[in-house]
Structure formats: C-alpha cells, structure tokens
Structure 1
C-alpha cells in the first residue's frame, strides 16, 4: 500500500510541476490552482508512504527521480522543450542513483 501512496505522490507532483509552467507566473487561475493542490496532495501522499514503512531515502529518491524523468519527458513531448543526449544520460544517472540506494540498503554495509 505504501507504494500506491508513493505513486500518487509522484503523479501529483508531476501534475503540479507541469501546471507551474502552464500557469504563466500564476497569471492563469486553472493551472495555478492545480499547482497548489498538486503539491499539497504530493506531500500528503509522500508522508503517508513514509508512515506505511517506506524508508525516507528510497521514497524521496524514487519520488524525485521519477519526477525529474517524467517532467523532462512531458516537457519534450508536449511543451516543445528539447532533450539532448546529455540530458537523457543525466536522467539515467539519477534513476541509477536511486537504484544504487535501494540495492545498497538491501545488502547492508
């Protein structure tokens, strides 16, 4: 169940971040409301994932890495932003870092 809360936190944070771009400096009401609600839901859901037993390094690492990757892909796919090979490599490294955190925790010191 903790992973369900984490997934909702990720989706909410991505929605809020994309809406931040669409709000045009909070000058558009609809996207501005989505920013506020999305971030609020994201933090509540992240806290619920932590309460239900996810470690903070795994939960926050997964949340942030998935957010970075998804926002970059949405920016490239729908917002006309470019994504270079170096940026794609950076996304892979971020995701790899989260995997290393999890694998390191499983195998101990």
Structure 2
C-alpha cells in the first residue's frame, strides 16, 4: 500500500507545482490548488513512510518522479523547453534513485 500512497504523493506534488505555474502567471485563485496539492503530497508521503517505505527511497522517488513529470508536463502545457541535455539530467537523477532503491534491499 505504501507504493500506492507514494504514487498519489508524486501526482499531488506535480499538480501543486503545475498549479503554481498557472497562479504565478496572474491567475491568483490557483494558489488554492497549489496549497491543496502540496498538503496532499505531504499527507500521502507521510502515509508512504507509515507503510514501511524507507525515507531515503520514498523521498528519492518522490523528488525524481516529481521533477521528471513536472518537466514533461511543462513542455506540453506551458510550451517550456526540454532540451536533450535537460532530458539526460532527468535520466541521471532517475538512475541515481534506482541505485538508491536497489542498494537499500540488501
């Protein structure tokens, strides 16, 4: 169940961050969605930890997946750049998280 909570935490954080982009462009009412997204993200991250996923693993996956998904969504929703160098950086972050995950199961 911890992994499901982690997935919801990631999606909530991504929604909150994307809402922040909209709110910062002048649509101030979207700050409410920012708050909801971030509160839900931390609630579900807490539930993830309560269900046995280690802090380093959970936070690493949460952060890396959040960066990757936010970057991809920003490219399509807001027409922001996503260069090959940036994509390579995302791959490196995800590889690092994978190494943390596989290293923690000994």
TM-score by length of 1: 0.93
Q: Secondary structure at the match of 1:60?
A: helix
Equivalent-residue separation in structure 2 for 1:26 and 1:81 (angstroms): 17
Query: Where does residue 101 of structure 2 map in the other structure?
Result: 102
2:19 maps to 1:16 = no
Equivalent-residue separation in structure 1 for 2:70 and 2:77 (angstroms): 10
Shift of 1:15: 0.1
| C-alpha distance after superposition, 1:41-95 (max 9, x if no partner) | 0001000000110000110000000000000001111111011110000000000
8 Å Cα contact 1:26-1:32 kept in structure 2: no
Q: CA RMSD in A?
A: 1.2
Shift of 1:25: 6.3
Q: Secondary structure at the match of 2:24?
A: coil
Query: Where does residue 82 of structure 1 map in the other structure?
Result: 81
Equivalent-residue separation in structure 2 for 1:35 and 1:78 (angstroms): 16
TM-score by length of 2: 0.95
Query: Where does residue 71 of structure 1 map in the other structure?
Result: 70
Q: Secondary structure at the match of 2:82?
A: coil
Equivalent-residue separation in structure 2 for 1:41 and 1:10 (angstroms): 10
